[in-house]
Amino acid sequence: MPLLRRPVRIRWWIFIYLFVFAMLSYVQRGSIGVVAERMEPELHFSQMQIGWIMWAFTVMYAVLQLPAGVFGQRYGARLTYFIVGAVGCLTMVATPLAPMVLTGTALFVALVFIQGLFGASQAPLFPVFAGVCEAWFPTRQWAMANGVNSSGMTVGQAFTPLLIVLLTAGFGWQGALLWLSLPALALTLLWAWYARNTPREHRSVTPAEIAELGEGADEPRAPLTWARFRAVATDRDVLLLAFSYASMNYLFYLLTSWSFLYLVQERHLSALDSGVLAMAPPIGAAVGSTVGGFLTDWLMARFGARRGYALVPVVFLPLAGALLLAVIHVSTAIAAVAGLTLAFFATEITEGPYWAATMRAARADTMAAGGVLNTGGNIGGVITIPIVAYLSGHQNWNAAFATGTAFALVAAGTWLLIDPDRAKASCSS
């Protein structure tokens, strides 16, 4: 009975909001890849043009990671996530409306601009979440919180193909995108009402909850200075993590953005069948990121930060690369989906280690460091999209998947050089 009377910690309500933000973000950003089959003939676009529209999102998302992290650290998560939601809703409405007033090259340029703006609006999501996690959660739960939050994006991705296919059947691809803006708008308004930047600012947070966060949790955060920003942006281990994360995210973007078209074009499934089967890989990813978060926290407590955070990526990233090679050699669509699912599981099980290690290296400057990390991560996406668009456009899916294997090995090998406690050890010596 005492467990039933224990109130839910406010940090979990904050976490739920941010989990849903991540989920809806990936529903919105994944929608273009699903409606591409309808957009291409209707708007007279080539697959390469669709690739450039998707690339505009990724470029802006990547370029603004570091400024977004700095902005979030300067102005707080409450305002930052409100901007994320509001601008995201605006672009989701503008995308289906643009073809009503523009055609040809003007329409293509407008959609590139809109997707670029959408990418800019979403840039703060994960750097700022890491800072929220650092402020609201005890150290022992950092990898878990990041891993479970990452599962939100893949849960959103899992249901996107089927959801968009069904909405498109009823309302057309433009109506489908318009419907997606409504839940995001509701979430944005609720967040602005409920959220606060730190536990000490929220009137419902108890002294007991603050005490769980450890020493200094009740103290106000000092503003980010240029010296601290420069130290984070040039920290050896933060940069190594960003480089490794870029390589890992090559796999992530390959699996996220192109699985649906792979099943349609290479495995010759219908849009509806592909929408159903394409749910499996991101569900595997959601399970992987959740398992990886809990597993990494346990390994860190048992073996320390350096080995505990490195074990999962060093083991699972090469496995993900091997599974991608297996996918191109299996004979049935079901076997290919199973291989993609396991590859995505093995990729996303590493999310918790990447973010927790960055938080440990940066501490109070986690949002800025998260911007560095996710800049690297999304450079992986910037590289992935034109390469895979070109190879898949020439019906060379085997080569596209083989490039993912090479990047998986690079990502795993870089972890052997990372020590998230290096800076702290240098200061104490």
User: For 2-213+225-428, which CATH superfamily applies?
Assistant: MFS general substrate transporter like domains (1.20.1250.20)
Higher pLDDT, 331 or 73: 73
pLDDT of residue 271: 61
- The token pair at 172 is 């057309």
CA angle 384, 329, 407 (to 5 degrees): 30
pLDDT level of residue 274 (50, 70, 90 thresholds): low
pLDDT of residue 3: 43
CB 287 within 8 A of CB 151: yes
Lowest mean pLDDT among 44-53, 119-128, 290-299, 410-419: 44-53
- The token pair at 391 is 């190879």
CB 180 within 8 A of CB 28: yes
- The token pair at 393 is 């456009």
CB 280 within 8 A of CB 342: no
> CA-CA distance, 56 to 111, in Å (whole number)?
9
> CA-CA distance, 295 to 316, in Å (whole number)?
12
**Owner of token pair 């792979």:** 262
pLDDT of residue 326: 93
Grouping H, G, I as helix, E, B as strand and the rest as coil, residue 222 is coil
Mean pLDDT of 104-123: 94
- The token pair at 277 is 């089967």
Query: 90-95 contacts: CB < 8 A, separation 24 or more?
Result: 90/117, 91/115, 91/117, 91/118, 91/121, 92/28, 92/118, 92/177, 92/178, 92/180, 92/181, 92/184, 93/178, 93/181, 95/32, 95/177
Mean pLDDT of 278-287: 86
CB 407 within 8 A of CB 247: yes
Mean pLDDT of 133-159: 89
pLDDT of residue 218: 59
- The token pair at 52 is 């450039």
Q: Phi and psi at residue 340, in whole multiples of 5°?
A: -65, -40
**Owner of token pair 């597993």:** 295
- The token pair at 139 is 């150290």
Indicate whether 2 pLDDT > 80: no
Q: Phi and psi at residue 333, in whole multiples of 5°?
A: -65, -40
> CA-CA distance, 257 to 17, in Å (whole number)?
25
Lowest mean pLDDT among 194-198, 300-304, 349-353, 387-391: 387-391
- The token pair at 426 is 């240098």
Report the Cα 386 to chain-centroid distance in Å. Answer: 19
> CA-CA distance, 160 to 166, in Å (whole number)?
10
CA angle 161, 58, 370 (to 5 degrees): 105
pLDDT of residue 429: 47
Indicate whether 211 pLDDT > 80: yes
Amino acid in position 351: E
Indicate whether 260 pLDDT > 80: no
- The token pair at 424 is 């702290």
pLDDT > 90: percent of the chain: 54
Indicate whether 405 pLDDT > 90: yes
pLDDT level of residue 216 (50, 70, 90 thresholds): low
Q: What is the dihedral of CA 219, 225, 230, 232, to 10 degrees?
A: 10
- The token pair at 234 is 């040039």
Greatest Cα pair distance, the chain, in angstroms, is: 66
Question: Dihedral sign, CA of 191, 194, 199, 205?
Answer: negative
Per domain, the residue ranges of the chain are: 2-213+225-428
End-to-end CA distance of the chain: 49
Indicate whether 314 pLDDT > 80: yes
pLDDT level of residue 267 (50, 70, 90 thresholds): confident
CB 370 within 8 A of CB 71: no
Report pTM.
0.83
Amino acid in position 142: W
pLDDT of residue 156: 84
Indicate whether 424 pLDDT > 70: no
pLDDT digits (tens, 9 = 90+) for 4-51: 455 778 999 999 999 999 999 888 887 887 788 788 888 888 878 888
Indicate whether 342 pLDDT > 80: yes
pLDDT of residue 215: 63
Q: Phi and psi at residue 343, in whole multiples of 5°?
A: -65, -40
